[in-house]
Structure 1
């Protein structure tokens, strides 16, 4: 069983090994395939087609398997590598070590938001954006959005979500007013569209704000923390922490055929949410 650590606790060697594996996965072209997969399954609830990844009950299990597949790809390069998590309630400023030149690099420069330092800066030669929705070939960020300042979610924001006893609720989309899933995913909560998970994407800015967000390596650290929050919620509600909806929806339900209930296989792996509920079955734990 391998251990996912808080990124602030990585040793210098662990950081180097992670960076080297990311750069090699990129060189092989495999990294960009992961970016394209995320873009393909970034389906909004306004679209009349299945949406396994976002604005949906399967947000957590889909991203769990997506992250697992990515981690396994890194481990084929270096078996010692795991995906660390970024606790953005604690490391919540652009000056956090996460953004240092020897790790992920910092924010983008004024004007084009191009990241100019760190191993993923375009000018350093190893990180060319291929799977994209813009013409830019370089990684972009706008940490904290200085022109219109934005703060990261707080411990209180997370604790509120962890207290929610129900996993998800009808209508099973971005407008669901109850349920842990949407409180964490962060759509339309108390009249505010960008909470928790979504707010982090916007705080980082640049490429992290769209369907091609995995182009920024911080995506994986962010989603490892999202996965950890699901683990914590399950532990906090051991009797009630079940995936909803548990049974196939009636054909008259507007969400029938568009969301994935407990035993309905999620693309592109044909794995149902039921297979992803217990993270310990997948040979990892969190430190």
Structure 2
């Protein structure tokens, strides 16, 4: 049966409680930290040798689509009524709006050390200790909007710039490409400061704290953010009917991206699935 992913701003109090309870249970079981480890393992950049699957690559979208599905499956094993909500950061744009409420994801970090002190994921509640990360810190941190160097969230027009591009991706299939929907949505730009961070990337910068690095999964907002990113792929596919994931075939041996990116019908590590198989999720879920 097809289930529905809802806008976090429309969730009822009961839906918020069930989502939070299921997420905390996945954490208690030790499953959640495996998601953090996986994201760390597959967070590779242009400058690294070998295959890139999760970031700075065409498979950014199908990789995270499958990643979200795995977490959603874990949540639904706890409570079959739970689905991943999405955070529409073009609309809920302040540090006090959805999802930053005490009954949901909690709020900003305190000034002294960015530690989140409110909500169910605050370390002092005893249910959300950071076990896997790039530092030794045990508590969740945020710096919503970046106090020292203020940054705004992406706007609807920023998103529209990506959505109107009819081509999924283009050579050289990395963070430097200026054409194609994928990188315009992922958000690797040129320039200095905030101008270099667009859409998906800019949101990570705006949240700050744990969301800045490869261990960004430690902040539960990661899933709501990426559900909204996934929704954009869903919308792009419907706007540009027939447009497909690219590259369709692997770059050749003389290409600098040979064996560095996943083509449409190639397996997408760490799963036994191809981007082609992840292009249509209509039999699994839909967005409200």
- Secondary structure at 2:163's aligned position in 1? helix
Matches within 5 A, 1:182-197: 182-189=183-190, 192-197=195-200
Query: 2:269 maps to which residue?
Result: 267
CA contact (8 A) 2:5 2:85 kept: yes
Provide runs of 4+ in structure 1 moved above 6 Å.
none
Matches within 5 A, 1:18-97: 18-97=19-98
CA separation in 2, counterparts of 1:146 and 1:112? 12
Residue among 245, 248, 263 paired with 1:246? 248
- Secondary structure at 2:244's aligned position in 1? coil
The TM-score normalised by the length of structure 2 is: 0.97
CA separation in 1, counterparts of 2:229 and 2:100? 19
Count of residues in correspondence between the two structures: 285
CA separation in 2, counterparts of 1:115 and 1:42? 25
- Secondary structure at 2:99's aligned position in 1? helix
CA contact (8 A) 1:177 1:189 kept: no
Query: 1:214 maps to which residue?
Result: 217
Offset from partner CA, 1:98-149 (integer Å, 9 cap, x none): 1111110000001210000100000000000001111110000000001110
CA contact (8 A) 1:101 1:119 kept: yes
CA separation in 2, counterparts of 1:2 and 1:77? 16
Offset from partner CA, 1:127-185 (integer Å, 9 cap, x none): 00001111110000000001110000000001111111111011000000100000000
Please say which of residues 263-272 and 219-228 is displaced more in the overlay.
263-272
Query: 1:201 maps to which residue?
Result: 204
Task: Compute the displacement of 1:249 (Å).
Answer: 1.5
CA contact (8 A) 2:173 2:257 kept: yes
1:278 is the counterpart of 2:255: no
CA contact (8 A) 2:87 2:98 kept: no
Matches within 5 A, 1:30-179: 30-179=31-180
CA separation in 1, counterparts of 2:250 and 2:138? 43
CA separation in 2, counterparts of 1:51 and 1:244? 14
CA separation in 1, counterparts of 2:161 and 2:250? 29
Task: Compute the displacement of 1:97 (Å).
Answer: 3.1
Offset from partner CA, 1:182-223 (integer Å, 9 cap, x none): 000000257732100000000000000100001000000000
CA separation in 2, counterparts of 1:189 and 1:277? 29
Residue among 215, 232, 246 paired with 2:235? 232
The TM-score normalised by the length of structure 1 is: 0.98
- Cα RMSD of the aligned pairs, angstroms, is 1.0
CA separation in 1, counterparts of 2:49 and 2:98? 42
CA separation in 1, counterparts of 2:119 and 2:161? 35
CA separation in 2, counterparts of 1:15 and 1:168? 36
Task: Compute the displacement of 1:2 (Å).
Answer: 0.6
Matches within 5 A, 1:9-24: 9-24=10-25
